[in-house]
Amino acid sequence: MIVFLFLYDDEIDRAIEPDVRDVASDLSVADRFRDDMMRFIENIFDSESRSPESNASSISKADDTNSTKGLRALISAAAPDLVAASDQVDTERFVKDMSLFATWGTKEEQRLRLSRRFPTLDELAAIRNGTGALDVICDVHQYVTDTRIPDELAWAEEVLIMRAEVSYQTCV
């Protein structure tokens, strides 16, 4: 999942190629890919469609590149583990945080890269916090480490402040 998040962000952030319609250069292509990815992730936790193999086909192959094919393969490979984690992971929070990660990727691409405008420090900090995927990683941490942290501690305001600070310090 971490490899997927890292490569997904890098694919959106890579160099813009003039006259190429792909997720880095064309916002409409990127939006379609993000929407398809989120639909796939939501379907992973849908009790009626828990077969990752059948869900893999729900990610659109329109405007496909080798990179998006690889991203589809990575999220499909992570799907069985996400299903297995669903009894330990707050899946609603995970889907929400994945959606925020994708939304901030859109904001970064739209506001900065495609408009060719340098961000203010506040904009950079907010975007970095969103595209850093720290919340998504924290969502699955308990499953990966096989530990249980009480929700009131795991999601305490002080912990959320520390998460934002970690993301900000990474940016600095």
Domain boundary assignment for the chain: 2-171
Dist CA 54 CA 45 (whole Å):
13
Confidence of residue 158 (pLDDT cuts 50, 70, 90): very high
8 Å CB contact between 119 and 108: no
72 pLDDT higher than 90: no
Higher pLDDT among residues 50 and 97, named by residue: 97
| Residue-level pLDDT at 147 | 80
Quick: pLDDT tens for 11-41: 777 777 778 777 777 778 888 888 888 888 8
Residue that has been written with the tokens 């880095």 in this structure: 24
The stretch 126-144 carries a mean pLDDT of 80
Dist CA 117 CA 139 (whole Å):
32
Q: 97-106 in b/e burial notation, b at 16+ Cβ within 10 A?
A: bbbbbbebbb
42 pLDDT higher than 70: yes
Tell me how far CA of residue 163 lies from CA of 4, 8, 130, 160, in angstroms.
20, 21, 11, 5
| Residue-level pLDDT at 157 | 92
